[in-house]
Amino acid sequence: MKRPSDHPPVAAPRVGVMLVNLGTPQAPTAAAVRTYLAEFLSDPRVVEIPRAVWLPILHGIILRTRPAKSAHAYAQVWTADGSPLAAITQAQAQDLQGRMGDTVMVDWAMRYGAPSIPDVLGRMKAAGCERILVAPLYPQYSGATTASVIDRLGEGLGAMRWQPAIRTLPPYYDDPAHIEALWADISAQLRGLAFVPQVLLLSFHGMPERTLHLGDPYHCQCRKTARLLGEELAREFPGLRVETSFQSRFGRAKWLEPSTEDTLARLAREGVGRVAIAAPGFSADCVETLEELAIRGREVFEEAGGPYQGKKDYAVLECLNAGADGMAMLEALVRRELMGWV
């Protein structure tokens, strides 16, 4: 049948891969951070408090006080390319596109902020992607991260008349490819330090403790990542002590323990003078690693007591980012999930 002359153009069918990370404000300003936090902290997956109780607190107190403080943190890590998280996620997408070739379209989105999941979903569908793998870049599953991405994806799909077929990348916290990538990358960075660490602290993003009791697997998956990674590192660094902690506490509720700040202070008091930190729950460096760990964490460690006082060695290792080890892992995971499509 001949296509009518007024028929809109139809793109050739393609397979797409959408990388998704958490999100970032559009600028290191109080106004931009307020917009970002309003979306982030309004998500019932992130703050599991009844809306009638939480929203007056959010809009009446938190969004009036926290944006300026957070903007200062973002300003300390902002780059010429903008937000580190956005720039790295874009670089990961570009690198993966080169690895996958023309048969696959790779794009990236943020759960909060821009580019949004619905916008990127629409763009990929318009480009002919009838099958899309959505890949949340969270190694460990949590309702506040992975599930929230799927929620937002559902909202985007709900607005589409002609939907693409969808697959989602499972959590890869204990995947051999992930552990190997972490081991190779962290080992190389440890060898490159100007000092030999006594302790490697594996810092994961924190969550309220109640999420664990409600059945969220995040804590257990973080612990397994840490255990498997520690076992691999012990082969080359048998004298290195590996500990696990959780950062980014917020509010008065009890969070997963031990906290990173408390652990750094304890290590200093115990006489540990050489510490390295890695963040194997983050796929890309962001304000939590570049400011919270690298700047504020150093202050906590150096100002804590102990025999070394301020004469302490401290290093925060880079995340996998768009490095060779991390990208080889991501390519392997994506190719496995695309089997039958590509």
User: pLDDT, tens digit, for every residue of 286-301?
Assistant: 999 999 999 999 999 9
* Residues 6+ away with beta carbon under 8 Å from 266: 258
Q: What's the pLDDT score for residue 3? A: 66
228 and 128 belong to one structural domain: no
Q: Within this chain, do residues 23 and 167 fall inside the same structural domain, yes or no?
A: yes
The structure tokens 């958490």 sit at 22
Cβ–Cβ under 8 Å, residues 322 and 92: yes
Regarding whether 190 and 127 lie in a shared domain, the answer is no
What's the domain range around 269?
176-316
Residue among 276, 324, 22 nearest 180 (CA): 324
Q: What is the CATH number of the domain that holds 167?
A: 3.40.50.1400
Our measurement of the distance from residue 90's CA atom to the centroid of its chain's CA atoms, rounded to an integer in Å, reads 13
How many structural domains is the chain composed of? 2
Please list the residues that pair with 23 across neighbouring strands: 112
Predicted model pTM: 0.94
Nearest by Cα to 115 from 140, 147, 85: 85
Does residue 59 share a domain with residue 45?
A: yes
Cβ(104)–Cβ(91) under 8 Å? no
Residue at 9 is within a domain: no
Q: How many helices (H) and strands (E) does the chain have?
A: 13, 8
Specify the DSSP class assigned to residue 52: H
Q: Are residues 307 and 186 in the same domain?
A: yes
Distance between the two ends of the chain, CA-based, in angstroms? 29
Q: How far apart are CA 187 and CA 236, in angstroms?
A: 8
Provide the percentage of residues in the chain whose pLDDT is more than 70: 97
Counting Cβ atoms within 10 Å, is residue 316 exposed (0-12), middle (13-18) or buried (19+)?
A: buried
Q: For residue 158, tell me if it sits in a domain.
A: yes
The answer as to whether 144 is a domain residue is yes
- Check whether residue 331 and residue 310 sit in a common domain: no
Query: Which residues, other chains included, contact 170 with Cβ-Cβ below 8 Å and sequence gap of 6+?
Result: 337
Banded pLDDT at 185 (limits 50, 70, 90):
very high
Find out whether 104 and 338 touch, Cβ atoms under 8 Å.
yes
Q: CB-based burial of residue 75 (10 Å sphere; 0-12 exposed, 13-18 middle, 19+ buried)? A: middle
d(CA 99, CA 274): 38
Q: Is the peptide bond before 28 cis (omega within 30 degrees of 0)?
A: no
Considering the domain architecture, whether residues 273 and 330 belong to the same structural domain is answered as no
Quick: pLDDT tens for 192-241: 999 999 999 999 999 999 999 999 999 999 999 999 999 999 999 999 99
Over the stretch 76-112, which tens digit does the pLDDT of each residue have? 999 999 999 999 999 999 999 999 999 899 999 999 9
Residue 64 corresponds to which tokens in the numbers above? 């009036």
Mean pLDDT, the chain, as a whole number? 96
**The residue to which tokens 């510490």 are assigned:** 275
- Asked whether residue 342 is domain-assigned, the answer is no
The answer to whether position 3 is within a domain reads no
